[in-house]
Amino acid sequence: MMSFSQADAFSPSQFTSSQNAAADSTTPSKSRGASSTMPLTVKQISEAQQSGSAGEKGAPFVVDGVETANVRLVGLVSGKTERNTDVSFTIDDGTGRLDFIRWVNDAADSAETAAVQNGMYVSVIGSLKGLQERKRATAFAIRPVTDYNEVTLHFIQCVRMHLENTKSQIASPAKTYSAMGSSSSNGFSEMTTPTSVISNPAPVLSVTNGSKIDLNTEVLNVFREPANLESEHGVHVDEIVKRFRLPEAKIRVAIDYLADIGHIYSTIDDFHFKSAFNE
């Protein structure tokens, strides 16, 4: 169920020490195979239209002309209810409320949901389900937010995504943000690549035989190496720095960008990252 609310303005003072401790103890969630996620507000989701004829059951929802399966929200948790097989809760981001369900399959899932409590700000990634008049979401990754700047950044990303998608509709048909996109040789596909990848190309790392190689792609390829895919904690930032022999600041820009568009995610801390691709 989804409804609108006039939530209090986000305040840094609401980030308590207990929330910080909960975030530190959270077990990193497993990759669910999402190739990219779309930052949205609850209001954007409430206004999303279901594609297909007359809201066909199972049809994806369309936001700003873009079909989306995986979304990311940041907001306040309320109404958390725990059962043997799942945990349900509501996210209030100040623009509205959206109900989520998080299925619990193993100890890692239990640890992840246990770290989340009512009154806590969280970042949640999930997929939209239901029909036009009754939207709901299934969460497959949720973690406490410990830095207020992340809340601000999320809304900035929502605005930027909205502007890019509405502007791109003038010149091109809608793209799809989904876990079902086909892969390409450089790890990005036309179907799953956010507009920002096209409009803001990565710095050129080198030129070989006239072919330019961008840093974002090269860094992503490191995370997708078989040994790093099998690693529980992923790859440390220092290892990437040593591999490319570049300043850490430049590597950080590439890593932050890949994390923002959902191609990698942090695991045990802010220095370890892992590919969101399974293969």
Give per-10-residue mean pLDDT for the chain (279 aa).
43 48 44 59 87 63 82 94 92 93 88 92 86 75 90 91 76 44 37 42 50 79 88 88 90 87 81 79
* Segment 162-208, tens digit of pLDDT: 888 887 665 554 444 443 333 333 333 333 444 444 444 455 554 44
**The domain at 215-275 falls in which architecture?**
Orthogonal Bundle (1.10)
What CATH code is assigned to 37-166?
A: 2.40.50.140
- d(Cα 152, Cα 147) in Å, to the nearest integer? 10
Residue 213 confidence (pLDDT)? 64
Question: What is the torsion angle, in degrees rounded to the nearest 10, for the CA atoms of residue 270, residue 272, residue 277 and residue 278?
Answer: -140
Domain extents in the chain: 37-166, 215-275
37-166 and 215-275 agree in CATH topology: no
The structure's pTM equals 0.50
